[in-house]
A = this chain, B = another copy of it.
Amino acid sequence: MSVVVVGSMAFDDIETPFGKSDKIVGGAATYIAYAASNFVQPVQLVSIVGYDFPTDEMETLKQRGAVLEGIEMVPDKKSFFWSGRYHMDMNTRDTLITDLNVLGDFNPVLPESYRDAEFVMLGNLAPAVQKQVIQQMNKRPKLIVLDTMNFWMEVALEGLLEVISMVDVLMVNDSEARQLTGEYSIVKAAKKILTMGPKYLVVKKGEHGALLFHGNNVFFAPALPLEEVFDPTGAGDTFAGGFIGHLAKTKDISFENMKTAIIFGSAMASFCVEKFGVQRVKEVTKTEIEGRLQEFVQLVNFDIALG
């Protein structure tokens, strides 16, 4: 089984109240691929990079089961660059610099070997690009998951609504769910979004966990309470990688299994924030993942006698 992952591969420069990263490798597809590769291989990447993207990062990704055939390399341009500064609460940040570079010309062409994949993870990108990927698949995948952000609601709402109507799972954070629907109540916002196309909605709430909505069902997964949050960059992408990775591995897209996938995603995200960039997600071991899943079980497990 395989999973197609679409998204940026980039450089980030991150400042938090606790430190500064300098220019390091980032990008949605990078985080998603590292996280997903713990569960499923190959991870078929679709992205675009400039001449400056490090070859040793590509090599590491390959060793982790990523297929790079769908990554376009533009020899005379730089990779996408983002720089941001987190506030004290680590939940909000200011963007300092966004250099689109190669990302401005991204017109993905899917290799033939990707086009029968059953699982597709559309990382945060322009909705038009996300749509192009869906249209190049030979048949409707078993599951398409879409991640997006407030920026596209402001500059490309029509295109975003179109691609939302084409997917099975939408992933947004709580303020984005509100912005997309004009509803303050997350429950009401979820009901509206579930009429826009997706059968499932994941609402990410950062340190406050994540909600999964499906029909009239709702599931809540907490975030692990961490002593130190070092860098939240990529936590949402890492969450998405764990989520799609577990689903692609098990090939089970029931509500019950989506709940489990959310827990796997939350576990992966809890590693991501412990170090700058992809560092921690790259080095995490199967034993560490199992340990953290056990912590999740402990965290929410309670006995209640009803009747």
Q: Is the CB of B300 within 8 A of A300?
A: yes
Q: Is the CB of B263 within 8 A of A302?
A: yes
Q: Looking at chain A's contact residues, is the secondary structure mostly helix, strand, loop, or mixed?
A: mixed
Chain B residues closer than 8 Å to A297, beta-carbon distance:
304, 306
A229 at the B interface (CB under 8 A): yes
Q: Is the CB of B218 within 8 A of A220?
A: no
Chain B residues closer than 8 Å to A304, beta-carbon distance:
260, 263, 293, 296-297
Q: Is the CB of A186 within 8 A of B225?
A: yes
A20 at the B interface (CB under 8 A): no
Contact A299 B219, CB 8 Å, known A187-B225, A306-B293: yes
Interface string of A104-130 (1 = CB under 8 A from B): 000000000000000000000000000
A77 at the B interface (CB under 8 A): no
Chain B residues closer than 8 Å to A298, beta-carbon distance:
217, 219
Q: Is the CB of A228 within 8 A of B260?
A: no
A208 smallest CB distance to B (angstroms): 4
Q: Is the CB of A208 within 8 A of B208?
A: yes
A108 smallest CB distance to B (angstroms): 35
Q: Is the CB of B218 within 8 A of A225?
A: yes
Q: Is the CB of A219 within 8 A of B302?
A: yes
A185 at the B interface (CB under 8 A): yes
Chain B residues closer than 8 Å to A184, beta-carbon distance:
88-89
Interface string of A162-187 (1 = CB under 8 A from B): 00000000000000000000001111
A75 at the B interface (CB under 8 A): no
Interface string of A40-58 (1 = CB under 8 A from B): 0000000000000000000
Chain B residues closer than 8 Å to A211, beta-carbon distance:
225
Q: Which of B217, B226, B229, B259 contacts A302 (CB 8 A)?
A: B259
Chain B residues closer than 8 Å to A290, beta-carbon distance:
306-307
A256 at the B interface (CB under 8 A): yes
Q: Is the CB of A227 within 8 A of B188?
A: yes
Interface string of A250-263 (1 = CB under 8 A from B): 00000010011011
Contact A228 B185, CB 8 Å, known A219-B299, A222-B222, A293-B304: yes
| Chain A, range 189-235, C-beta contacts under 8 Å to B | 205, 208-209, 211, 217-222, 225-229
Roughly how many angstroms separate A298 CA and B187 CA in the complex, as a whole number?
16
Q: List 20 A-B contacts (CB under 8 A).
A: A88-B184, A89-B184, A185-B229, A186-B225, A187-B226, A187-B227, A208-B209, A217-B298, A218-B225, A219-B302, A220-B222, A221-B302, A222-B222, A259-B303, A263-B302, A290-B306, A293-B306, A296-B304, A297-B304, A297-B306
List 5 additional A-B contacts (Cβ < 8 Å) besides A211-B225, A259-B302: A185-B229, A186-B225, A222-B222, A290-B307, A294-B306
